[in-house]
């Protein structure tokens, strides 16, 4: 056995401080620790989050020697993108990122033209973990198992990547007034790989960083955390000063059905989950979105719709159901027919439960999270597909 271990470049890299993981006050404290002036932190923060630079060398109002010291001791990304796919209509872009330790994660940018009263949006779907520990049967990430939590900086870096892309080439689409190309990120959803509330501390830290007025300045109301239903963490979230949106992956209206596709239901059954949601609504006064992946013949019958209506109608206008026809993975589930979806929604309407259906998008680039990595690993080689 070889007992001599050389520090790898990865280990050397990890010894550097990841500045993307620090809030501005923390960055100031770090600068002071390094014997630098605290006000330099604010300059660096602005370079990273407002000017979106990826290299200390570009921070031209810092003395050259300081830029060098920073490059020696700290890192600000950028991330390594192994593959980038754009859907044919360019409304969905997906990247596969290789982390320092070789783990692969995915992030997606979704672009929406203005619709009715809502203005155009550029939403980043962010990963919070490499892999996931919760094993939902319809989810490609769930079938990989859990690798590790992402650092706050690794979450922030995903958003910055797409922010730079849009800054460089603002998105113009049919239906978008010529004067208003989207050149910045308007929303973040924690709906990529992993369970964000399992990585609670780092996720909240990343959101605080991206919310900072001195930096990226994205409003908390433009951020959504989606959870499999970790009850204690939902309760904790209800006490946070940051007013982010909460989405619950419900996906079934009874314990019997939910436990079959979502193993977490055995630990936190529906009664406890709904009670935590009720307390969350009471504490925050905010609406909760319930995601419901429609699996043909499994959870999409009129009976299921009636049960779901009965479950959620007590929450009145504070519950909204987002119906999501399943994206097909190796598991073999099928999305319902448009007719079945219409019937399902009509029954929810009869119960007075507000609902919408997520338009399918990006299917040509494997939009459901975990699918790109799965395909990539199956191919076992880098291949960039240009649609
Ligand atoms: N772990 C968190 C967030 C990541 S998953 C959660 O489960 O909520 C984001 C959303 O995508 C969840 O609602 C999840 O259930 C859904 N999802 C997973 N696999 C899917 C698939 N094959 N098709 C459609 N949605 C899927
Ligand atoms: Fe994990 Fe969410 Fe996928 Fe379930 S749906 S396995 S919690 S990522």
Give pLDDT tens digits for 11-41. 445 589 999 999 999 999 999 999 999 999 9
| Average pLDDT taken over every residue of the chain | 90
Q: Specify the pTM.
A: 0.92
Dihedral of alpha carbons 175, 179, 184, 186, sign: negative
Q: Which ligand is closest in space to the CA of residue 329?
A: 1
The protein residue whose alpha carbon is closest to atom 4 in ligand 2 is 136
Indicate which residues carry an active-site annotation.
106, 369
Largest CA distance in the chain: 69
Half-sphere exposure of 296 (CA within 13 A, CB side): 13
In percent, the amount of the chain with pLDDT more than 70 equals 88
Instruction: Give the dihedral sign, CA 127/136/146/221.
Output: positive
What pLDDT does 106 receive?
95
Q: Is the pLDDT of residue 279 over 90?
A: yes
CA of 75 to the centre of ligand 1 (A): 31
Q: Are 94 and 365 in contact (CB under 8 A)?
A: yes
The count of C-alpha atoms lying within 13 angstroms of the C-alpha of 371, restricted to the half-sphere facing its C-beta, is 19
Q: Under a CB-based contact definition with an 8 Å cutoff, are residues 195 and 231 in contact?
A: no
More confident residue, 8 or 289: 289
| Residue 291 Cβ < 6 Å to ligand 1 | yes
């Amino acid at each position: 056995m070889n007992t001599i271990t050389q520090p790898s470049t990865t280990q050397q890299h990890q010894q550097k401080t990841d500045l993307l993981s620090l809030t501005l006050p923390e960055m100031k404290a770090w600068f002071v620790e390094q014997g630098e002036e605290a006000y330099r932190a604010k300059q660096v923060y602005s370079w990273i989050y407002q000017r979106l630079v990826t290299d200390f060398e570009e921070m031209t109002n810092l003395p050259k020697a300081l830029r060098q010291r920073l490059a020696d001791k700290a890192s600000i990304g950028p991330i390594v993108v192994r593959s980038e796919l754009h859907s044919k209509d360019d409304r969905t872009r997906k990247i596969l990122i290789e982390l320092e330790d070789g783990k692969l994660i995915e992030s997606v940018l979704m672009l929406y033209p203005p619709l009715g009263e809502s203005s155009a949006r550029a939403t980043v779907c962010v990963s919070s973990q490499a892999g996931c520990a919760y094993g939902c049967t319809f989810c490609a990430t769930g079938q990989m198992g859990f690798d590790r939590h992402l650092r706050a900086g690794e979450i922030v870096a995903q958003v910055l990547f797409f922010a730079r892309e849009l800054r460089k080439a603002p998105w113009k689409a049919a239906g978008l007034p010529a004067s208003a190309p989207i050149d910045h990120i308007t929303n973040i959803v924690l709906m990529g790989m992993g369970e964000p509330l399992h990585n609670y501390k780092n996720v909240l830290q990343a959101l605080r960083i991206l919310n900072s007025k001195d930096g990226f300045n994205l409003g908390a109301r433009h951020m959504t955390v989606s959870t499999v239903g970790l009850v204690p963490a939902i309760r904790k979230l209800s006490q946070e000063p940051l007013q982010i949106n909460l989405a619950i992956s419900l996906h079934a209206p009874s314990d019997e059905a939910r436990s079959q596709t979502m193993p977490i239901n055995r630990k936190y059954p529906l009664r406890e989950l709904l009670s935590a949601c009720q307390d969350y609504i009471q504490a925050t006064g905010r609406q909760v979105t319930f995601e419901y992946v429609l699996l043909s013949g499994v959870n999409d019958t009129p009976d299921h719709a009636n049960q779901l209506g009965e479950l959620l109608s007590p929450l009145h206008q504070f519950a909204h159901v987002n119906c999501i026809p399943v994206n097909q993975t190796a598991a073999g589930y099928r999305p319902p027919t448009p007719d079945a979806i219409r019937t399902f929604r009509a029954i929810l309407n009869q119960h007075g439960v507000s609902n919408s259906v997520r338009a399918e998008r990006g299917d040509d680039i494997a939009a459901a999270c975990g699918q790109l990595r799965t395909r990539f690993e199956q191919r076992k080689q880098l291949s960039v597909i240009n649609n």
